[in-house]
A and B are shown apart, each in its own frame.
Chain A
Amino acid sequence: MRPSSSPRSGRLALGMALAVLLPWAAAAQDLADFESRTTLHRLDNGWTFIIVERPVAPVFSFATFVDVGSAQEVPGITGLAHMFEHMAFKGTPNVGTRDYEAEKVALEAMEAAYQGYEAARRARDADPERVAELLAAFRGKQEAAAEFVVANEFDEILARAGGVGINAFTNTDFTGYFYSLPANKIELFCYLESERFLEPVFREFYEERDVVQEERRLRTESQPIGRLLEQFQATAFVAHPYKQPVVGYMSDLQSITMTDARAFFEKYYVPSNLVTAVVGDVDVGALVPMIEAYFGRIPAGPAPEPLRTVEPPQIGEKQVVVEDPSQPVYIEGYHMAARDDPDQPVWDAIDDILSGGRTSRLYRSLVRDKKIAANAGSFSRLLGSKYPTLWIAWAFPSPESSNEEVRDAIREEIERMKVEDVTDEELERFKTRAKAELLRSLRSNSGLASSLAEYQTIFGDWRELFRFVGRIEAVTKADIRRVASATLVATNRTVGMIRTAAPAAQDAGAREADDA
């Protein structure tokens, strides 16, 4: 039976989940209650669904997490996980085409032409004339294939149906897809989301590759912090793929092929590698058969092999300086354990006490008292967290200050974490805030869907999202000193900074060729 749609019953559905957070003694009991509102359904092909009934308004959101990110890339195909994310909006044999049979032939011809061009372009002693000829031939095939495209039909169907927040992301760990629809469009969700991973068609692949190159120029090459972070992660890691930029290197983005993308899809987009969470005004009784019918169409495949490369221990401090005509920025990172490590809640405490809000130590020292930074803080998951990662402290020096000055002040606070206990108030504040943050996150269908899908993917159990708060409760002052002392040491450190350089003027030749 479908639950009634009044806001009251919405309160019951999640209000119970909440109770987890308030009277902590009763947490186990309330978790059981939340569980009864949440359905975990795994299809025979391995695709996992988590469904939460939250009938507050007649809408729902979903998030699909694919257990693949840029960490699965090897040199030559960096950027491919993200490139595939873009291709997942290009449609299927049924969506986005005027005539799929003919288009399929045209796409195969285009890819053959591209492979021919790519081989000639990269050959030793490449013949420029031959390369130009092959490029022209490829461009012809590309134009021919484009004739069949119905531009962005996948998005258009969703927009017409009232879809909002249609988007996706790729990071080092995951690829995620999400949007929200009015509640009566649940079947459309089942159809389109299964269709897109049943048989994606990589139409407009090479046009989209240009788009992704622009994304790299926009976010990495044309932003000081983008430039710094790319150098910083490449310096901090010597072996693990966290050293590679998610968006990919430009040379790879200019070389990856539709065939590469197809192989990547077939290897990583097997149903057992996917988790989807649906939250909102849905009826689980009606939804499960619909999911079976649509998502069950996708054949099972072998699970991809886990990542082999492990980062070797760091043996000395490292530093990278970006000479840039922009204002100084200072960061320093320390290798830390992966997300599923038992000390993760201790890291959350270190992070919160150093950088959570105006009571945090970095704010009080660098911004409020010394007035040497416009802002300062720390991150523990910036570069990913599925594998051992980096804890990062950062500061933007104020106009009369310098990287060296903020560095010294950050180090002073880090040292204090190692040699003195944090105060009772600090520890309590961290625990209270962690609970409240979880509570606030439950107000959003899309936020909750993402959290559930993420926890299910990392831990194999969405309940970790709630259990985690219990683990936070157990963090002690001694834990904080122990973890800080073991990890926040010079030999484990990588420093990155932007050092202000005079702006580059372009050479006279470039000027004269232009107008302005």
Chain B
Amino acid sequence: MLEREARRGAVAAALVAAALVAPAAARPQVTDADEIEYPPLPPFEVPEPTRIALDNGMLLVLVEDHELPLIEAFARIRTGQRLDPSGLAGLAALTGEVMRTGGTERLGGDEIDELLEGRAAFVESAIGVDSGRAAMSCLAEDFGEVLEVFADVLRRPVFDEDKIAVAKNQARAAIARQNDDPQGILFREFAEVLLGADSPYTRPDTYTSIARITRDDLKAFHGRYYHPNSVILGLVGDFDTAAAVEQVRRVFGDWAPGPPGGAFEGGYKTEPTPGVFYVEKNDVTQSSILMGHLGVRKDNPDYYAIQVFNEVLGGGFSSRLFSRVRSRLGLAYSVSGGLGSEWDREGRFQLYTTTKTETTGAAIEALIAEARKISGDEPPTAAEVERAKQAILSSFVFTSDSSSKILGHELDYEYYGYPLDWLERYFAGIREVTLEQVRAIGERYVKAGDFTIVVVGPRGGRDRPLADFGPVTEIDVSIPELEIEAAAASPEMLARGGELVAAAVAAHGGRDSLASFESVRQRATAVAATPAGRLQVEIDQLVVYPDRLRQALTLPQGTMVQVVTPESAFLETPAGRQPLEGDRRRSFAAGLGRTLPVFLRAAVEGTVEAAAVGSGEVGGVPVEYVRLTSGGQSFQIAVEAASGRILELAFRGTDFVGTPGEVRQAYADFREAGGLVLPFSVEATFEGAPYMTSTITEALVDEPVDPALFLPAE
């Protein structure tokens, strides 16, 4: 305890030192800020947190604060999103959330909501990248009752299925919306290029990973990481420490310790990935720009000099970045940067701005120039370093100006294993930083030649080509659709699937015809239910095995042609031609693999996995369902066992405006055409609602194909 008191004394001394100048009589009306003489900062006693370990290993840190009749608790738990098992991205985040919303053994989620909100209290739980967190806040008089809920949430969550469904729904909405905000794309893709796409720090939640996660996974994740010996619990507010400890002991004391968990090392790429990485986004008027490479950990011996360096480069309105890129050049509203650090892994050196498309090159150049200057020919000056040190030291009092901030620091140091006098060391460390130390930082840690530069913005209209700044790689940010899981197929399912597909091959023309056809051209008249109403469409679809697809849709407004071949993919409308890229190319090309002759030919050639997945009815006819997995996609067909006819095809697709959902095509009116047996009537639904009805007017097999059909029109 003596050591502890000395430590707190050091904070007070540091605060006095921060005031720097002796008291003087106030003189009215200076005309220069330097003429003001500041009295010393009043002495300030920083409250001392009390630390108590329970027998089960849970650590309590308490700070009394009687200003208001409120009590708050903050817990850190040794877990994190980076511990998501492979293939289950999103599990930790869902666990953290549903621990609270899904109720406990004693009270359901809705009852907890009512109990808390009726008292204007809250309890929340979440799992972040490198820690689990839980917090509560209540009036002092409700402390006992709310603390019980808080303990139940940490100890006895039941993960109600319906609340899992709500959380999954929100997670899927976040995936659907992940490309709406350009800054969201920018920071996500930068991390992915820098740290690696398969890093536990960047693995994105996907529709597939969210769909895969079950209640058992949530229970197991919670059971593995939530033990009292993995919890640090901080309390701050209007309580008596001894009494509060007793209350905590009552609700947490009988919680049995478990195996320690949550440790994590590495998990990301450490070699740089220089170059320019571009994401096309045409519905914005700016380029968003982020560049840099890995940074440092907070226990780096140069940490204090780095903080001063950061203040000079990007600390606030008078920093180099702000003064030059924003105020002087007017290139940006938002500009920032610095050599970042994390507690238990490297942070990032990064420079960020957003600028109008026409000044993209100018802004990239300005940021690189600042990086080169501060790490080379224009290192921080004596005056800059002095000002930066003064800014950090003078504002030091704000690191401890509330009890909850003091508690928060203590929890951080404890959780990440840093010395508890870190803050005092920080003050002394900054004070002792020399000009030479700060000048050395740029050269040591900033390597402009290694920069990963990510740009998100419109494709056209830039002042300079991106290639001026390094080799350009385009990043496809299209959102992967839900993959239908194939892994679970048993030998029995595969055997029955094989039988059904063999029957279908026989019913649709036989092995010989299917193995030898070269092209199929179908013309159809269709009625589509679009957001704009019912629309008559003429369809002309040409498939050339194995990899060419052309589809022409004629609407009252004109004809729209989509083509995909190994060489190119494009869309032609009366308004002009545009390339089909990324998501749109993939989704159109996937349609080729779902045409009946193509997937049956793949089945004949043995390149498709077929698994029987159940039975049902299509239009009153009994069918068996077969899941086909081929060429990276899965979809389902319904086979009438008696005839071998395929009566339905179902897949995850999109509607006319790109909304993802389930598409079902019901087939009827089978007719022979050039050795194949094809449906001449197709009724499609989207998410159960009528979508398009097509009547095939002509089906031509192996007619001569004009190669020009697959080339752009002149």
Contacts and interface: CB of A to CB of B under 8 A. Distances in A.
Interface string A478-516: 000000000000000000000111111111111101111
Contact of A11 (B45, B66, B581, B661): B66
Contact of A514 (B42, B333, B459, B661): B459
A133 B113 CA distance: 68
Given A153-B318, A160-B387, A208 B330 contact: yes
B555 to A, nearest CB: 15
B398 A218 contact: no
Interface residues of A, number: 112
A151 B114 CA distance: 54
A56 B47 CA distance: 11
A140 interface: no
Interface stretch (A40-48, A183-191, A343-351, A461-469): A183-191
Contacts of B282: 325, 503-506
A5 B43 contact: yes
Contacts, number: 310
Interface string A118-159: 000000000000000000000000000010000111011101
A214 B120 contact: no
Given A162-B398, A214-B331, A508-B577, A224 B180 contact: yes
Nearest to B456: A222
Interface stretch (B460-468, B595-603, B700-708): B460-468
B65 interface: yes
Contacts of A374: 169-170, 173-174, 177
Given A191-B30, A359-B113, A506-B282, A439 B332 contact: no
Nearest to A504: B282
Given A15-B67, A191-B33, A399 B117 contact: no
A146 B390 CA distance: 27
B397 A58 contact: yes
A15 B657 contact: no
A10 interface: yes
Contacts of A428: 118
Interface stretch (B283-291, B427-435, B534-542, B622-630): B283-291
Given A425-B114, A443-B67, A327 B177 contact: yes
Given A182-B41, A218-B333, A375-B170, A188 B396 contact: no
Most buried by B among A58, A206, A221, A442: A58
Contact of A207 (B65, B170, B328, B334): B328
A502 B582 CA distance: 13
Interface stretch (A71-79, A108-116, A290-298, A380-388): A290-298
Contacts of A211: 326-327, 330, 332-333
Interface string A202-244: 0010111111111101100111100000000000000000000
B327 A151 contact: yes
A504 B393 CA distance: 51
B556 interface: no
B19 interface: yes
A325 B283 contact: yes
A425 B458 CA distance: 52
B381 to A, nearest CB: 14
Contacts of A59: 397-398, 401
Interface in B112-133: 113-114, 117-120
B460 A510 contact: yes
A157 B389 CA distance: 13
Given A151-B323, A183-B42, A400-B687, A191 B328 contact: no
A369 to B, nearest CB: 9
Nearest to A433: B120
A440 interface: yes
Nearest to A294: B29
A371 B42 CA distance: 55
Contact of A210 (B283, B330, B581): B330
A368 B577 CA distance: 45
Nearest to B282: A504
Interface string A416-427: 000000000100
B529 interface: no
A507 B460 contact: yes
B673 interface: no
A398 B169 contact: yes
Contact of A516 (B39, B40, B139, B474): B474
A509 B282 CA distance: 14
A166 interface: yes
A162 B459 contact: no
B327 A207 contact: yes
Nearest to B393: A162
Contacts of A511: 459-460, 579
A218 B334 contact: yes
B402 A159 contact: no
B67 A217 contact: no
Given A159-B387, A435-B120, A398 B172 contact: yes
A182 B67 contact: no
B316 A396 contact: no
B330 A57 contact: no
Given A217-B354, A375-B170, A18 B460 contact: no
Given A59-B397, A371-B166, 5 more contacts: A56-B401, A152-B327, A224-B283, A439-B69, A510-B459
Interface of A: 5-8, 10-11, 14-15, 18, 22, 55-59, 89, 94-95, 146, 151-153, 155-157, 159-164, 166, 180, 182-185, 187-188, 191-192, 204, 206-215, 217-218, 221-224, 281, 286, 289-290, 293-294, 297, 324-327, 356-359, 367-368, 371, 374-375, 396, 398-400, 402, 425, 428-429, 432-433, 435-437, 439-440, 442-443, 499-511, 513-516
Interface of B: 15, 18-19, 26, 28-33, 36, 38-45, 47, 65-70, 101, 113-114, 117-120, 137, 139, 165-166, 169-170, 172-177, 179-182, 278, 280, 282-286, 288, 315-318, 322-324, 326-334, 354-356, 387, 390-391, 393-398, 400-402, 458-462, 465-467, 472, 474, 531, 576-579, 581, 657-661, 687
The 8 lowest CB-CB distance pairs between A and B, nearest first, are A510-B460, A162-B394, A210-B330, A436-B120, A374-B173, A515-B465, A155-B317, A156-B318
30 contacts: A7-B66, A14-B67, A56-B402, A59-B398, A94-B32, A155-B316, A155-B317, A159-B317, A161-B33, A182-B397, A182-B398, A184-B42, A187-B36, A192-B33, A204-B327, A218-B286, A222-B288, A281-B42, A289-B28, A327-B173, A367-B169, A374-B174, A398-B172, A429-B117, A432-B120, A440-B70, A504-B283, A510-B461, A511-B459, A515-B472
